[in-house]
Chains A and B, each alone.
Chain A
């Protein structure tokens, strides 16, 4: 059994390596033409005119991710605390099941719901509706269960004697949570947030449907914008030569960002395991 597990693990490692090599191979022709610096900071994305600057797309991706994290984190924390400290266990279980169900909804369903319900709503308030705000809201819904469930288990792992000590000092429930439980679950919660952010920045279909996809740096929450992922999905079908290369470089860039996020998760996890090893 051990040998099978080992060889399967090696296969998945090799597949990952192969994908990175493929991305690099497809990216190189373009990177030989323009420098990575130009690719990152050139102000225009006009592939039909040979201008490949991903700045607006990169900022779009980062803003929509930031927006979704800001919206999802308070809700996720509230939900995790609710499950651990406020709800009776049967209700907490129902709540967890509901979150798991939410986590399992395909992204295209979120996107379609956003397109036919959320975007028209925002449009009544501030046209055109398809906007940074719509993208952030949909993504927040999608990453909420991830962050909530990870935070939930991080809080559940806080040793009971912390709570006991705190209440023997006469601290109330909220003071205990704020002063003892949340700080010691901090790294686990952070890991959940970064995990959620990683999912948000890599999400494609849902943001493609609700965020408007105009290549520009949004000046307000109600401006239309395009993410790196939506750009790849919209243009890969007809991209050729250096345009195709540019899309692969965007893919490489995204992989780098997500790898960065995952490294942060690993660091947070490590600190969780050895809180005094800093």
Chain B
């Protein structure tokens, strides 16, 4: 047994340092340096925040770019709170937020670009067509655990909740007068897409989501059903005329003194020129 050959340590040596690698590296470094030069003439606006606003801001950014060739708009989602943090720290020029500012956040200025509502969604196959506010509170607080108790089939309710710190959660909690720790969730989700897919894949799930996102998903054939809130249908019309109870403003936000190009983009986002983009996302333009 002593003649067992030891594996050669040679294979661990790192030696592909042929001149090719060096050339590639040098090329990459030089390319990077050269690449910096023209970007001085272009200006990049970094926009971060709410994943509800991000698709709209992205569309607006593209149209803005096509009109202002020297400005590039870079949109990244991550939640309203990230938007606030990034604007404060200067990481972003513009933040996106899908709720109102709290008293501690008054150092920022919001610029409303559209109106949206939040509605409760269930799976398409669920026979439930409406829930009272009290029933929704009961379901989310864990007092109602079976669909039978609210007139549905005999199946446990799978409660889908948003992760702490998401604006949609804040608006939802605020309207139903719930505390975050009261909620008995079965699944906690991060962004809207994950929420949509979770409810669409689960016949017994209940979740809540932006009307715009939900309607767009229904149009793309996702198996979800939008429920009315307090008897009022979750339609863009009802959001526009203010009768839908769970409404909210989608806004861009800036610190006190926005630069010229930032102001130009905000003016553009609030102008009539983008109303078709807002409506295409099933959101409501600000009058």
Give the B-binding residues of A (Cβ under 8 A).
Answer: 1, 4-5, 46-49, 112, 115-116, 119-120, 123, 127-130, 157, 159, 161, 184, 208-209, 212-215, 224, 226, 233-235, 237-240, 272-276
Contact assessment for A115 and B201 in the assembled complex, using a CB-CB cutoff below 8 Å: yes
* A-side contacts of B14, CB under 8 Å: 5
Contact assessment for B198 and A119 in the assembled complex, using a CB-CB cutoff below 8 Å: yes
> What is the distance, in angstroms, from B190's C-beta to the closest C-beta of chain A?
5
| Chain A, residue nearest B157 (CB) | A127
Q: A123-B158, A159-B4, A226-B188 are in contact. Are A47 and B164 (CB under 8 A)?
A: yes
| Residue B79 CB within 8 A of the other chain | yes
| Chain B, residue nearest A211 (CB) | B187
Give the A-binding residues of B (Cβ under 8 A).
Answer: 2-7, 9, 14, 17, 22, 78-82, 85, 155-156, 158, 163-166, 180-181, 185-190, 194, 197-198, 200-205
Partner of A130, one of B79, B156, B187: B187
Partner of A234, one of B186, B187, B188: B188
Contact assessment for B165 and A127 in the assembled complex, using a CB-CB cutoff below 8 Å: no
| Chain A, residue nearest B82 (CB) | A237
29 example contacts (A-B, Cβ-Cβ < 8 A) are as follows A4-B22, A5-B17, A116-B197, A119-B201, A119-B202, A120-B202, A127-B158, A128-B186, A128-B187, A128-B202, A128-B205, A129-B158, A130-B187, A157-B7, A184-B4, A213-B188, A214-B186, A234-B163, A235-B163, A237-B81, A237-B165, A238-B79, A238-B80, A238-B81, A238-B85, A239-B165, A273-B9, A274-B6, A276-B2
Q: Count of A-B contacts with CB under 8 A? A: 101
* A-side contacts of B186, CB under 8 Å: 127-128, 130, 212, 214, 224
Once the chains are docked, how many angstroms separate the CA of A48 from the CA of B165? Answer: 9
Do most interface residues of chain B lie in helix, strand or loop, or is the interface mixed?
Answer: loop
| Chain B, residue nearest A115 (CB) | B197
14 additional contacts (CB under 8 A) given A5-B14, A48-B164, A127-B204: A1-B17, A127-B155, A128-B202, A128-B205, A161-B3, A214-B188, A215-B188, A224-B187, A234-B190, A237-B79, A237-B165, A238-B79, A273-B6, A274-B6
Once the chains are docked, how many angstroms separate the CA of A123 from the CA of B188? Answer: 15
* A-side contacts of B4, CB under 8 Å: 159, 184, 275
> What is the distance, in angstroms, from A155's C-beta to the closest C-beta of chain B?
13
Q: A159-B4, A213-B189, A273-B6 are in contact. Are A123 and B78 (CB under 8 A)?
A: no
Once the chains are docked, how many angstroms separate the CA of A161 from the CA of B80? Answer: 65
* B-side contacts of A130, CB under 8 Å: 186-187, 198
Contact assessment for B198 and A237 in the assembled complex, using a CB-CB cutoff below 8 Å: no
Once the chains are docked, how many angstroms separate the CA of A209 from the CA of B163? Answer: 13
